[in-house]
A and B are shown apart, each in its own frame.
Chain A
Amino acid sequence: MMEEVKEVTPTLSVHADNIKVTEVLKEGDTLTFIIVSQKLSGTGEYHVDRTYDDFEWLQQHLFSQEDVPGIQGVIFPPLPAKAQVNASAKVMKQLGFLGLEEWQPYCKALENFLQQIAAHSILCKNKALEIFLTSSDPPGRQRVRKNIFNRLSQAVVEMRKESHKDVDEFFQTERDHNLVLTGCTKTATERFLDVVLTEQKIAVACGHFSAALQLCVEQGEDPDKQAFSKACVKLSEVFNSMMKNMTSVAENNVNTLGVGLDLESRYQEAEKEMLFRRTCKLVELETARRNAEKAKPVKKAAMEEVKKAAETEFDHICGVAKQEIAQFHGLRVKMLQQALVQWCEKQLLTAKEKADQFDQHLQAFRGMA
């Protein structure tokens, strides 16, 4: 475990926006990711290899910065679920778009994760990031300590707090809005995934049909046989084109809008978690206030201390949260716009290419007849 450095630490020694996950290697059951970053000073590069456990290590360190005031108000960049070689159907479903296309979208998601941390004014100061990106040794594969933010470990009874009425209209609105958006985005993402999976099935079916047509080629001098065979071969080519088209369309969908929706969905969840943490703190504060009020004179001073601490912490969190929310609003619009524009451009390009190809096939066929 590393020390928390108290004095002002230098920020990251690499360019934040140039961090790339360039490769993914399968070593037995584990996936290893190659991460390349550009040195700020000079023209050097860092190349490191990391596994998912290393990413989790980084995340834990970010979560456990208790000395940073209002850290609980931060919307932490979301880390995707663990990717596995030969993943089960359940895992694949959870990964959604990230599990497709030979892990390329997954690498992009990890890349985004690192870039967002590096660009974050509070998080980039954490030493863990520097070590993660630059140290040639893996940062250590043991878990730091219990993740205090781990929702899963929170008692079910805590979930009640989610709907606790807020004292601040700004936050109440944000919570309500977030709830709606999280639901909508998740649904849209899942349905888009269904579309892509069906497109892949169609591509396979076109491939089968194309292969079956090849089998229809008949030998012989007979002009009718030859004409039929030629027609079959040509049609087989057409369906091969269709297969490639569908594959491209599906790929485009995954790499642009698919990952875009996925990222938006996970970020909405991250905001939800932050708002929940704040709500929990609010409940804690209100409890502390009540306790301080009701406290017997013996305990009163101690309760007041607790109350004051809670108030301070809550104020810090609200301050950070407001900033985070403002930034997040800007960020997500930018991300979605990028995704939509890229998606449209890629599909447009593919459609134009295919239109030309199909037209050629048609002309060739007419010429044959």
Chain B
Amino acid sequence: MAPKKPEQKKEPVKVSPEPVKDSPEPELANEPNFDPHIIKIDFTVDQIEEFKEAFQLFDRTLQNQMKVSFSQCGDVMRALGQNPTNTEVLRVLGRPKPEDMDSKLVDFETFLPMLQHVAHSKDQGTYEDFVEGLRVFDKEGNGTVMGAELRHVLVTLGERMTEAEVDKLLAGQEDPNGCINYEAFVKHILSG
């Protein structure tokens, strides 16, 4: 077991992030740009009113101009129960330049089709998906993973998190040996 571990650990480090990021959804690169006009809104009026409230909560302009910055769009969608990746968010925003993220604003009418599109997306992630994924790290097959390894993966793979974010996520989950019972962990994070 011991010799195998370092080898497995090594490869995530060496891989360049670019190709890896796109790999879970390789179809992304080939799809046309997001077109809000073809989106059909099937939210109810009540739902839309509720979305407006959340939108207002993040409204940068205060005094009810009802606009949020590009960089906040993802958060507003998540606040409304959606679960997009950052890539998906950037896509519905029309792949804006990094410098536009904080300065450009979006009003509610523009935001709504984006939200609808994201809501239609299929891959929401279930308990089994999480557990399956984490099981890969379960070397001893005993229902636990090493916190350190999980940290490493989250910081280096996919849509990478910062060390501080991972600390917050794993707060209180590791036992004295640094192990995490991943089924309990998944239950914890899904209870949100």
Q: Verify that A and B bind, or say they do not.
A: no
Q: Which residues of B contact A (CB under 8 A)?
A: none
